[in-house]
């Protein structure tokens, strides 16, 4: 669940409407059938969608278990933070 005080950006998919009812966080939206950036708030979702696409591409398609999802996510984030050269350099020290 989101931390109290978080700001959640999403598109206008109907299932996300319930997020606006919770007062513990702020829910900002963009209607992507009209435009990709909300002209009033500047909200856009392209970055997170690209991040999820890249993450899904790095999860093995077969032989995976749901309970390993957090491990796959941690590995993906580690690889984003530490580029390949730094990882190899550190490994061989």
Q: What is the pLDDT of residues 63-87, one digit of tens each?
A: 888 888 889 889 999 888 888 898 8
Residue 77 included in any domain:
yes
Q: What is the pLDDT averaged over residues 54-71?
A: 85
Residue 52 included in any domain:
no
The answer on 4 and 39 residing in a single domain is: yes
Q: Considering the entire predicted model, what is its pTM? A: 0.63
The answer on 66 and 35 residing in a single domain is: no
Q: Domain count of the chain?
A: 2
H helices of 1-93, in order, are 46-58, 69-81, 84-91
- Burial group, residue 30, by CB count within 10 angstroms (0-12, 13-18, 19+): buried
The answer on 66 and 37 residing in a single domain is: no
Residue 26 included in any domain:
yes
Residue 36 included in any domain:
yes
Domain with 75 in it = 59-92
pLDDT score at 4: 92
pLDDT tens-place string over residues 4-51 = 999 999 888 888 888 888 888 899 999 888 888 988 888 988 888 898
Residue 53 included in any domain:
no
């Amino acid at each position: 669940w989101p931390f109290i005080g978080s700001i959640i950006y999403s598109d206008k998919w109907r299932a996300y409407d319930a997020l606006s009812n919770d007062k513990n966080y702020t829910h900002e939206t963009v209607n992507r059938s009209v435009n990709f950036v909300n002209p009033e708030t500047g909200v856009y979702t392209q970055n997170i969608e690209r991040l999820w696409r890249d993450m899904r591409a790095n999860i093995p398609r077969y032989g995976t278990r749901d309970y390993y999802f957090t491990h796959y996510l941690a590995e993906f984030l580690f690889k984003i933070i530490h580029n390949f050269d730094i990882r190899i350099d550190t490994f061989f020290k």
